[in-house]
Amino acid sequence: MFSYLGFDLKNNLFVAPMAGITDRPFRMLCKEFGAGLAVSEMVTSNSLLYGSEKTLRRANHFGESEPIVVQIAGANPQMLADAANYNIQNGAQIIDINMGCPAKKICNVLAGSALLQNENLVAEICQTVVKSVPKNIPITLKCRLGWDLQNQNIKTIAKIAEDAGIAAIAIHGRTRSQQYSGEASYDLIAEVKQQISIPVIANGDITEAQKAKFVLDYTKADALMIGRACQGKPWIFAEISHYLQTGEFLPPPSAEQIKQIALKHMQEICDFYGEIKGVRIARKHIAWYTKGLKNSAQFRTSMNKIETLQEQQKFVADFFDSCGN
């Protein structure tokens, strides 16, 4: 068990928030494979969008295991505070503020990792959101090392956050300008861990069990956050957890096992979104499940033309059956 902000989790392996990916079906799947906590994809702080279908769906955590963590994004302190309370009223138990997203459309409105350029605004946002929510609701922060390699101010940001009452901070080991290029750096994450007393979660390039152990040992972080490495591989949480506990590797899943995981995931996506939208959303997950397998590129080209769940599932099943075990 891992104690985190008043919650008892099965471990210290977290699913990173990823726009368009960490919806409820995917969060629940990762938790089934051993993730201790999963953060929702971003929910906008723009109050005009609270009633939109997309926002209501993103804030839907029905049936999930606790804690329910919702990430909010924006640049206006009061709007972020209002968004935090809106999501708390809809069941959120932890609110995470996004200061890490490198996407242009987020940074162009000075949200996400663009906020790291304005330390005064970071302080105002943290203070305003923390003071506006009930005292039993932890506010956490997700950010990067800084805006670019010349402005890696994460140590200052972390201290500002701690002083403002932020309960934990997750740090991706890249700057905004790096996007996802190059390799994540863990040196500053280790320095932040030495500097502050709130939990620090390390994120970036944690792609397999040995790397997870290295990052934990090197940074002394309290937890790990895994993003792109769990796309098409939700069982990575089971692999890492097993290795951290035993020092031994789990055998990789067979083609038959991956097939069953994919089919179940596709069904849950369609149950959640409806079949027409669900079939289209499932395509990217199917592409990840099949990546690197023989004839997968040709398979994906044909699969992307299918419009019904029944056909899609048959196509996927036939492909995996042709792969053998």
Pairing of β 7-9 and β 2-4: antiparallel
Which residues lie closer than 8 Å to 8 by C-beta, 6 or more apart? Answer: 1, 2
Peptide bond into 67 cis (omega under 30): yes
Looking at the DSSP assignment, which residues form a beta bridge with residue 272? none
Question: What is the model's pLDDT at position 68?
Answer: 93
Give long-range contacts, CB 8 A cutoff, 24+ apart: 194-199: 194/220, 195/155, 195/158, 195/159, 196/158, 196/159, 196/162, 196/169, 197/162, 198/161, 198/162, 198/166, 198/167, 198/168, 198/169, 199/4, 199/5, 199/167, 199/168, 199/169, 199/223
The pLDDT > 70 percentage for the chain reads 89
In degrees to the nearest 10, what's the CA dihedral of 282, 36, 185, 194? 160
pLDDT tens sequence across 152-204: 899 999 999 999 999 999 999 988 777 777 788 999 999 999 999 999 999 99
Sequence-separated (6 or more) residues with CB below 8 Å from residue 54:
none
212 close to 227: Cβ distance less than 8 angstroms = no
pLDDT in tens, 211-254: 999 999 999 999 999 999 999 999 999 999 999 999 999 999 99
Say what the pLDDT of residue 107 is: 47
- Cβ–Cβ < 8 Å for 108, 146: no
What is the per-residue pLDDT for 104? Answer: 56
Cβ–Cβ under 8 Å, residues 319 and 258: no
DSSP state of 307: -
Q: Which residue has the tokens 């985190």?
A: 4
Distance CA 201, CA 183 (A): 18
Contact assessment for residue 98 and residue 70, using Cβ atoms and an 8 Å cutoff = no
pLDDT tens for 294-305 read: 888 889 899 999
Q: 187-195 and 209-219 are packed helices; what angle lies between their axes, rounded to 10 degrees?
A: 40
Contact between 173 and 203 under an 8 Å Cβ cutoff? The reply is yes
User: Is residue 120's pLDDT more than 90?
Assistant: yes
Give catalytic residue positions.
101
pTM of the model: 0.92
Closest CA to 122 of 73, 75, 68: 75
